Amino acid sequence: MTDNVLVWLNDPQNWSGTRFTPGIGAQIAAHLLYTAIALLVAGAIAFPLGIVLGHTGRAGWLVSVANGLRSLPTVGLLILLYVMVSPLISGRGDAPYLVPTEIALVLLALPPILANTYAGVRNVPPDARDAARGMGMTGPQVLLRVELPNALPLVFSGLRSATLQVIATATIAAYVGLDGLGRYVYDGLASHQFGQMAGGAVLVAALALLVDLVLALVQRLTVSRGVSGRFSRRAAGGDGRTAAVTELTAGSGEGRERGGNDAEDSSRPVAVLAPSGKHPPG
């Protein structure tokens, strides 16, 4: 099986394509196009909704309802949407096949983006909110300058999770006749060319890992270091050692000084206060 996969991946004809079948590069571009459309639509819905719900703390049940979408079988949902939606779309082209596919992928991408955005905004420390309001910030200013920057790590986590799921599931586009890397999986299964099927699966996994690596780099450049804590270990370690040495030195010096003061104070005469009109005993 491994040899068949390597042979298929190293075949130049699979990369350049033929007159009737696109090459691997064209299939990757189609796969990324389906993924980008689904993520843009899901983000346009989930990001504002998650921010509003997290900022106001109301209607949190909507997040639970969205999480319930995770349990939907994507292939079954695609078939149902294809039967119901495609007859309503007139004209030629890929629209009758693309619309049901994108709806299924959008429903797959919504839960992680919405849940993580809501959790990120909602879990901002209350002290930070109170400090911002104490400085005179309005509600929108607190949201834009305090809550959103602190929520970015969780927001990116939801986006990356949704991206991985959509890239892995966009292979179902080939089930209704569209292009994409799923074409190799379904065609290889139908023709019993398991090297092609496994090669398509390897390409999907590699594409998902590459896109996740790019998003991780974007997250690293976008999220503040103070929020992500990238330098906290080094800074905390250095400050801890310095503080310990400083405290030890200060304690020793204070002890010596206190000891010297005690000795000095013991050599001084002690004044005893007596009641008014009386003198202390000689």
Query: In this structure, is residue 155 part of a structural domain?
Result: yes
Between 102 and 137, the more confident residue is 102
For 193, other C-beta atoms within 10 Å of its C-beta total 15
Q: Which tens digit of pLDDT belongs to each residue from 34-89?
A: 999 999 999 999 999 999 998 888 888 888 888 888 888 999 999 999 999 888 88
pLDDT the model gives residue 270: 43
Q: Is residue 49 included in any domain, yes or no? A: yes
> The domain that contains 111 carries what CATH number?
1.10.3720.10
Q: CB burial class (10 A; 0-12, 13-18, 19+) of residue 92?
A: exposed
**263 part of a folded domain:** no
Is 253 within a domain? no
Give the Cα separation of 100 and 238 in Å (integer): 56
3-state secondary structure of 135: coil
CA distance 100 to 103: 5
Q: How many helices (H) and strands (E) does the chain have?
A: 13, 0
Residue 86 counted as domain residue: yes
What average pLDDT does the segment 175-188 reach? Answer: 91
CA separation for the pair 234, 206 (Å, rounded): 34
- Is residue 153 in some structural domain? yes
Query: What is the number of other CB atoms lying within 10 angstroms of the CB of residue 133?
Result: 14
The structural domain count of the chain equals 1
Measure the CA–CA gap between 167 and 156, rounded to whole angstroms. Answer: 16
Distance, in Å, from the CA atom of 169 to the CA atom of 182, rounded to the nearest integer, reads 9
Asked whether residue 57 is domain-assigned, the answer is yes
- Segment 220-252, tens digit of pLDDT: 998 887 776 766 555 455 544 444 434 444 454
The pTM assigned to this predicted structure is 0.77
The dihedral of CA 203, 205, 207, 209: what is its sign?
negative
Flag whether 278 is in a domain. Answer: no
Q: What angle do CA 172, 97, 170 make, to 5 degrees?
A: 25
pLDDT higher than threshold 60 for residue 93: yes
- Which residue in this structure is represented by tokens 């890239």? 167
Q: What is the residue range of 89's domain?
A: 2-17+24-234
Assess whether pLDDT exceeds 50 at residue 178: yes
Nearest to 33 by CA among 85, 81, 101, 82: 101
More confident: 241 or 203:
203
Token digits for 237?
């370690």
Going by pLDDT thresholds of 50, 70 and 90, the confidence category of residue 171 is: very high
Q: Which tokens belong to 181?
A: 């890397």
pLDDT of residue 233: 53
3-state secondary structure 36-71: HHHHHHHHHHHHHHHHHHHHHCCCCHHHHHHHHHHH
> In 3D, which of 174, 204, 210, 208 has the Cα closest to residue 189?
174
With a cut of 90, say whether residue 28 has pLDDT above it: yes
Pair of tokens at residue 87: 């007859």
In terms of C-beta density within 10 A (0-12 exposed, 13-18 middle, 19 or more buried), how is residue 202 classed? middle
